[in-house]
Amino acid sequence: MSKQINVALIGNPNTGKTSVFNALTGLNQKVGNYPGITVEKKEGVCKLPKGVKAHIIDLPGTYSLNASSLDESVVIELLLNKKDKDFPDVAVVVSDVENLKRNLLLYTQIKDLEIPTILAINMSDRMAYKGISLDIACLEKELNTKIALISTRKKTGINELKELITDYKSLPTKPCLDASTIDKQYFENLKKAFPNQLLYKLWLVITQDVNFGKTNRKTIEETQGFKIKSKSDLKRLQQKETIKRYQFINNTLKKGQTIDLKAAKDLRVKLDRILTHKVWGYLIFSLILLLIFQAIYDWSGVPMDFIDGLFASLSEWAKSVLPAGAFTNLIAEGIIPGLGGVVIFIPQIAFLFLFIAILEEVGYMSRVVFLMDRIMRRFGLSGKSVVPLISGTACAIPAIMATRNIESWKERLITILVTPFTTCSARLPVYLIIIALVIPEGRFLGLSYQALTLMLLYLIGFAAAVGSAYILNKTLKIKGKTFFVVEMPNYKLPLFKNVAITVLEKTKTFVFEAGKIILAISIVLWFLASYGPGEQFNNAEAIVQKTHPNLSEQAQNDMIAEHKLEHSYIGIIGKTIEPAIKPLGYDWKIGIGLVTSFAAREVFVGTLATIYSIGSANDIEDEDEAMSTIKNRMAKEVHSNGNKVFTFASGISLLLFYAFAMQCMSTLAIVKRETNSWKWPLYQLIIMSSIAYLAALVAFQLFK
């Protein structure tokens, strides 16, 4: 049996840490959350020389062990806790050859924890281009470690890194410098109070308010003969520590690094002037977004239609092959459509993350974040929130998954909670049929009233998202520093392997995590619509044949389907909620549409087809003709008093309800996954539904 060792990959953001992780683990990796928190945890397995297996954990990017975010706290907690199952036998600090000075600050701090540490200097292929040369032997001596000079792009140095990890026991653990000289007396007193503890661990506990074992800030405060300094004094000492470390780093690099500035050729400054320009920057970003979302709509349309048709055919095949009965109906009408409801999102998710991954790989996303931060921060959001908010116009599910790059938990949570307000493509079928039904044809300044209404709904959604973010920022009592720090990496060609693994992991996460919840709810909805209590449901065929004996077979089948739906469990729910939705201008049939569309907003139109006896519309090959048939029947629908159901007032009410309502269980499932709690999606459901109800109520009462 081969031995397994724990390896922690640590480094600043944008040092290529993820590329090193991918190079070591390939597809032998999994992504989850740390227990009890929403910080992403990436781990994988790597085969090393001499039959050794490595469990590799890719820790969140951090600039130092002076934590300012939840991500950085995760790094410190792990490095302090020897009893943690993931505590590293060896730490690999990944640095960028162009930013070695800044990266070495974190390296010297980890060395003070006396963990065997390897320095992996990445992007070595850019050394000649940047006029950089390194004396590796000198640097190894000064930094008291072994160095792996690697390039994930050129695939060099990875085998050498694996060799060093395998021989980690031969690595020196002595710190690079003595940080305690910043206040000798204070650190001597600390050592006397805790003679058996590592001094730098105690210092981190005091300054970061973290703990290891039974030692925490409180136990230190309760120890006689030692007094913790004030916060301001500790902050000054931290600054002294940082200065001392940089003095050591500067002296080390003077000996081991030379940079020929004349040899360095860089277009970065010129590109940045254009891409972050206060006018051209926004214009270029808008054009890129337009191209991305046009591509998402165009490219995902074909595979989504194929998936839709495939699962519809699969459902029909199951009905024809399996013996008739409840079990066959469950498979054909519950499980298969439920799976289809999960799989159909894959093209949109995959294409969206493909483009996001490419933009991140080339270094452009950091420029976008910098560009948008000034605007978004006024509303309690981060510059990084702009990507999910705009992505939401395609689908809220991948958009919410895209919030993972927002460091501040408060800003990330606000972005997750408000993103569903943006008008997604699933709302379009609902909008199109209602607009065609209640908005008159005509033009204003050359634009049709119907097109203007649709555009207005998109603007209302975005305004609701931004306005809600502003309110949440003022009301959410979540502590969190909101310093804006963004790394401006060099522009580079994307690594296909990194992009492919990112797309695969994000898609897999959705299918296996959110998919389980979606499938379960789909089966519940099928059961509620397929069964009902009492004679009215069980004898639907006899009742319809008796009351309407002269109808054609197709019309009779449609009426039986409508009668069964009315007296099914979901029909009873529709009847039950009718008093609550009547003030909005809706009847029990629309109520059923509201309930069933919880599976997905676009289900509303399919439900209407069944409710209004349009079973035959599903057989019409021309989509416009089928939609027209549904629209005509809806236009003729009347209340018991003879008044039309779908009027301008009820139509506007319905449009506003869908503009604000959280009518998508897929989104709820992914919010639960991303927040690691049911609390936030339930709050989201209740508050958005309340806003939708009030907006619809006011609109109907105003226009009726």
Q: What is the predicted pLDDT for the residue at 654? A: 93
- CA–CA separation, 395 vs 657, rounded Å? 18
580 and 651 assigned to the same domain: yes
| Interstrand relation of 117-122 and 132-134 (parallel, antiparallel or unpaired) | unpaired
Give 686-703 pLDDT, tens digit per residue: 999 999 999 999 999 998
- CA–CA separation, 507 vs 510, rounded Å? 5
Q: Name the percent of the chain lying above pLDDT 70.
A: 85
- CA–CA separation, 322 vs 472, rounded Å? 52
Mean pLDDT to the nearest integer, 621-638: 60
54 and 141 assigned to the same domain: yes
What pLDDT band is residue 551 in, cutting at 50, 70 and 90?
confident
- Could you tell me which of 120, 116, 119 has the C-alpha nearest to residue 156? 120
Q: Is residue 447 part of a domain?
A: no
Q: What is the predicted pLDDT for the residue at 508? A: 79
Exposure of 1 in the CB half-sphere (CA atoms within 13 A): 3
What is the residue-wise DSSP string for 295-339?
Answer: HHHHHHHHHHHHHHHHHHHHHHHHHHHSPSSHHHHIIIIIIHHHH
Last residue of a domain, one of 259, 282, 298: 259
153 and 208 assigned to the same domain: no
What pLDDT band is residue 622 in, cutting at 50, 70 and 90?
very low
What pLDDT band is residue 225 in, cutting at 50, 70 and 90?
low
Q: What is the predicted pLDDT for the residue at 531? A: 84
Mean pLDDT to the nearest integer, 348-353: 76
Give 471-499 pLDDT, tens digit per residue: 998 888 776 555 555 667 777 788 888 88
Mean pLDDT to the nearest integer, 61-81: 81
- CA–CA separation, 215 vs 199, rounded Å? 12
Q: In 3-state terms, what secondary structure has residue 407?
A: coil
Of residues 387 and 669, more confidence is placed in: 669
Mean pLDDT to the nearest integer, 227-232: 82
Q: What is the predicted pLDDT for the residue at 196? A: 81
Q: Name the percent of the chain lying above pLDDT 90.
A: 25
Tell me if 421 sits within 8 A of 464, measured CB to CB: yes
Q: Is residue 362 part of a domain?
A: no
pLDDT at 9 > cutoff 80: yes
pLDDT at 621 > cutoff 60: no
Q: Is residue 562 part of a domain?
A: yes
CATH number at residue 166: 3.40.50.300
pLDDT at 685 > cutoff 70: yes
Q: What is the predicted pLDDT for the residue at 260? A: 74
- Least confident piece of the model among 447-456, 588-597, 634-643, 672-681: 634-643
* Structural domain total, the chain: 3
- Could you tell me which of 185, 175, 145 has the C-alpha nearest to residue 245? 175
Give 91-109 pLDDT, tens digit per residue: 999 999 988 999 999 999 9
- Could you tell me which of 394, 449, 409, 511 has the C-alpha nearest to residue 648? 449
- CA–CA separation, 385 vs 414, rounded Å? 9
Q: Is residue 543 part of a domain?
A: yes
| Interstrand relation of 447-448 and 443-444 (parallel, antiparallel or unpaired) | antiparallel
Q: What is the predicted pLDDT for the residue at 69? A: 64
- Could you tell me which of 222, 15, 1 has the C-alpha nearest to residue 102? 15
Of residues 236 and 228, more confidence is placed in: 236
Count other Cβ atoms within 10 Å, centred on residue 471: 13
What's the token pair of residue 38? 């929403």
What pLDDT band is residue 417 in, cutting at 50, 70 and 90?
very high
Of residues 44 and 14, more confidence is placed in: 44
Helices (H), 531-613: 534-538, 540-547, 553-567, 569-581, 588-596, 603-611
- CA–CA separation, 584 vs 508, rounded Å? 40
Q: In 3-state terms, what secondary structure has residue 489?
A: coil
Q: Most confidently modeled of 347-356, 417-426, 485-494?
A: 417-426
What pLDDT band is residue 619 in, cutting at 50, 70 and 90?
very low
pLDDT at 303 > cutoff 60: yes
Q: Is residue 583 part of a domain?
A: yes
- CA–CA separation, 84 vs 78, rounded Å? 7
pLDDT at 134 > cutoff 90: yes
pLDDT at 607 > cutoff 70: no
- Could you tell me which of 348, 264, 361 has the C-alpha nearest to residue 307? 348
Of residues 27 and 309, more confidence is placed in: 309
552 and 699 assigned to the same domain: yes
- CA–CA separation, 488 vs 180, rounded Å? 33
27 and 127 assigned to the same domain: yes
Mean pLDDT to the nearest integer, 543-558: 76
532 and 677 assigned to the same domain: yes
| Interstrand relation of 257-259 and 132-134 (parallel, antiparallel or unpaired) | antiparallel
Q: What is the predicted pLDDT for the residue at 333? A: 74
164 and 248 assigned to the same domain: no
- Could you tell me which of 168, 157, 116 has the C-alpha nearest to residue 134? 157
Q: Is residue 108 part of a domain?
A: yes
Domain range for residue 603?
Answer: 517-703
Q: What is the predicted pLDDT for the residue at 421? A: 93
Residue 560 makes CB contacts below 8 A (sequence gap 6+) with 540, 541, 544
110 and 213 assigned to the same domain: no
Q: What is the predicted pLDDT for the residue at 192? A: 84
- CA–CA separation, 342 vs 307, rounded Å? 10
102 and 241 assigned to the same domain: no
672 and 584 assigned to the same domain: yes
- CA–CA separation, 423 vs 86, rounded Å? 42
Q: Most confidently modeled of 303-307, 540-544, 575-579?
A: 575-579
Residue 186 makes CB contacts below 8 A (sequence gap 6+) with 229, 237
Mean pLDDT (the chain) is: 81
Last residue of a domain, one of 238, 259, 280: 259
Q: Most confidently modeled of 4-8, 50-54, 349-353?
A: 4-8
H helix and E strand count, the chain: 33, 11
Give 180-202 pLDDT, tens digit per residue: 899 888 888 888 888 888 889 88
Mean pLDDT to the nearest integer, 25-46: 71
Last residue of a domain, one of 201, 231, 259: 259
**4: phi then psi, degrees, rounded to nearest 5:** -115, 135
Length of the chain: 704
What pLDDT band is residue 356 in, cutting at 50, 70 and 90?
confident
654 and 634 assigned to the same domain: yes
Q: Is residue 57 part of a domain?
A: yes
Q: Is residue 609 part of a domain?
A: yes
pLDDT at 544 > cutoff 90: no
Mean pLDDT to the nearest integer, 413-438: 84
Mean pLDDT to the nearest integer, 59-64: 87
145 and 213 assigned to the same domain: no
